Amino acid sequence: MLEKRLKRHVIGPEQEFFVVTAPALEHLCYRELMRVPLSCKEAYIVHGGIAFKGRLHECYVANLKLATANRILMRVAHFRAHTFHKLQKKIARIPWELYLTADCELSFRISSHQSRLYHKEAVAECFAKVLRERLDTYGAMSAEADAAPSKQQIFVRIVDNQFTVSLDSSGELLHKRGLKNYRAVAPVRETIAAAILQLAGYSETEPLIDPLCGSGTFSLEAAMMVKHIPSGWFREFAFMGWPGFSRRRWQHLRKTCGAEIRAMDKPQIFASDSDETMCGLLRQTVEKHNLADAVQVACKDFFQIAPRNLTAERGLVVLNPPFGLRLRGEFNHRDFLEAVYGHLQRFYSGWRLALMIPEKQCKTKAPFPGLTKYTLLHGGLKVALLTGTIP
């Protein structure tokens, strides 16, 4: 009986999804979504992300392949309620057993604006109580008896007493690729790194130099791009714990994507840093995930590197120079950047540049003429991305 209801209400018909992105990355993620491609008939950009309609398995593809998305939500209900009595009735009518297993671990994210039900904790408690009662009565346990209970986050957005209830299909934020179990000081998120590579026009056929690599985020993202490895290849997702999840379809999707992963004749991504510990950890990660055919790691100071010693071709040099906490008081930031610009002009003439610097630094003269500026958020701070060709 449950299986028939799943096919009729969850697996078969189109569902509403919302792709959450970082600010200013909506259009970039939309282009990614259009390239995947999905069979969705409706997709449009709204503030904070992209809304689209598609069948349940479309969210498998989106989670696996979208490099600039933060998470993907599936809408399960829209309704109005201005009292807790009305809210309880509305929650109880949602067929939760079609979306969640009886043994899943629940958590809630509540936001409320201009609504009578503004107490977030009380709303979460109401949802938890009514939802758990329904799952205890109608819900099925996880299909895999020895599996740990799945974790499910439920998003509830209330605006003017209108509720939008969504399930998080992703689990951990999608910038967590499943590659690294370490981090540097103030690292750039993988989703931001992927966006920067796309904005800089990085091509999988050209060399990339990452001479201040830190934990190696840019190099790892570039390696996955050139080897055609989906961004979510090394991790799992929350939708895998849903009653409607099809392991057969998921395995077919992974098999199809796996056949497109390619081996490289020689590395064309050159990562380096003066931090021996970070370089050692990055090298281990590269080898563990079979990326050594794409990435070469060296422990060298930025000013010791000349691209002609690495490759005969020009390509992209990507830089996230240390600033703020990452400087540790060792350098004057402005002097350090001026030295970086001088080294780039001397040794990287004709190379394309992707440079992250503090937004306030752009109020002074740009390092080179003709650069394009983008404003991004990095660690809650506004940073400028400058792209163009080094003269």
Q: Which of 138, 168, 198 is the endpoint of a domain?
A: 168
Cβ atoms of 227 and 291 within 8 Å: the answer is yes
d(C-alpha 95, C-alpha 91), whole Å? 9
Return the ∠ at Cα 179 (arms to 358 and 152), rounded to 5°: 95
Q: Looking at the structure, do residues 205 and 127 belong to the same domain, yes or no?
A: no
CATH code of 62's domain: 3.30.2130.30
Is-contact 105 270, C-beta < 8 A? no
What is the pLDDT at residue 143? 59
Please answer whether residues 75 and 114 qualify as being in contact, where contact means their C-beta atoms are separated by less than 8 angstroms. Answer: no
Walk along the chain (391 residues) and give the pLDDT tens digit of each residue: 888 999 999 999 999 999 999 999 999 999 999 998 787 778 999 999 999 999 999 999 999 999 999 999 999 999 999 999 999 999 999 999 999 999 999 999 999 999 999 899 999 999 999 999 999 998 877 756 556 678 999 999 999 999 999 999 999 999 999 999 987 777 899 999 999 999 999 998 999 999 999 999 999 999 999 999 999 999 999 999 999 999 999 999 999 999 999 999 999 999 999 999 999 999 999 999 999 999 999 999 999 999 999 999 999 999 998 875 444 544 567 788 899 999 999 999 999 999 999 887 776 667 899 999 999 988 778 899 999 999 9
Domain-located, residue 33 = yes
Residue 130: name the closest of 159, 90, 99, 101 by CA: 90
The pLDDT, as a whole number, for residue 332 is 66
- Residue 326 pLDDT: 46
Q: How far apart are CA 112 and CA 125, in angstroms?
A: 15
Residue 176, in any domain of the structure: no
CA atoms of 114 and 159, how far apart (whole Å)? 6
pLDDT at 230: 98
* CA–CA gap between residue 121 and residue 108 (Å, rounded): 9
Domain annotation covers residue 183: no
174 inside domain: no
Number of structural domains (the chain) is: 2
103 and 246 assigned to the same domain: no
pLDDT (0 to 100) of residue 247: 96
For residue 158, what are the β-bridge partners?
Answer: 112, 163
Whether 144 maps to a domain, the answer reads yes
pTM listed for this prediction: 0.94
Give dist(CA 274, CA 211) in Å, integer. Answer: 9
**Phi/psi of residue 352, nearest 5 degrees:** -85, 150
What is the domain extent for residue 80? Answer: 2-168
Find the CATH number of the domain harbouring 304.
3.40.50.150
- Do both 196 and 100 map to the same domain? no
Same domain, 28 and 123: yes
**Are 33 and 72 in the same domain?**
yes
310 and 363 housed in the same domain: yes
Largest CA-CA distance found in the chain, in angstroms, rounded = 71
